[in-house]
Amino acid sequence: MKNLFAAILLTVCISTIANAQTADASTNTNAPSFQWVNDTYDFSNIAQGIPATATFEFVNNGKEPLIITDVQKTCGCTKTEWPEQPVMPGQKGVIKAEYNAATEGAFTKTITVNSNASAPSVKLTFKGTVVKDAVSGAPEQKTIFNQ
């Protein structure tokens, strides 16, 4: 019985050691890192049918270049823009999310930024209320749709 217990214990120990994970970007102190100026954008009221753009600014406060690989959106009502080139340490970058404002009513949308940063997946949120004939609460901006 003691031999059986010892064999099981040995098997558990070996499998635990074999499954140990190596260090990744989350433990790399030199890894790129986002420092967000804002991770939520509130449009307040926006006019129906007039696209509005949320701007999310960040700084790479890591010691390696920050590479954004993708920005995922939750619906076809949103277009996104992000830096195609690596953002060097200490440099600023901007991610834009443009909402088409086609449907009247309150909305909350999320985009997910995927990168090589120490936190490789970050969610950014924008919200507001689309109203007919509204005066926009956000400053007028050029949009992705009308450039």
Torsion of CA 135, 141, 146, 147, to 10 degrees: 170
Per-residue confidence (pLDDT) for residue 29, from 0 to 100: 79
The answer to whether 67 and 84 are in contact (CB under 8 A) is no
- Report d(CA 82, CA 87) in Å as an integer: 11
Low-confidence ranges of the chain (pLDDT < 50): 13, 20-25, 145-146
Confidence at residue 23, expressed as pLDDT on a 0 to 100 scale: 44
- Kindly indicate whether the domain formed by 30-131 is annotated with CATH number 2.60.40.10: yes
Q: What is the pLDDT of residue 143?
A: 52
pLDDT, residue 134, reads 52
Whole-number pLDDT of residue 40: 96
Q: Are strands 105-115 and 121-131 parallel, antiparallel or unpaired?
A: antiparallel
Q: What is the pLDDT of residue 30?
A: 83
Q: What is the pTM of this model?
A: 0.71
Please, which residues bridge with residue 55 across strands? Answer: 96
Residues 109, 64 contacting (CB under 8 angstroms): no
Pairing relationship of beta strands 78-81 and 68-73 according to DSSP bridges: unpaired
Q: How far apart are CA 143 and CA 73, in angstroms?
A: 17
Q: What is the pLDDT of residue 49?
A: 93
Number of neighbours of residue 23 by Cβ within 10 angstroms? 7
DSSP symbols for the chain: -HHHHHHHHHHHHHHHHHTPPPP-GGG-TTS--EEES-SEEEEEEEETTS-EEEEEEEEE-SSS-B-EEEEEESSTTEEEE--SS-B-TT-EEEEEEEE---S-EEEEEEEEEEESSSS-EEEEEEEEEEETTPPPSSPP---STT-
pLDDT at 136: 52
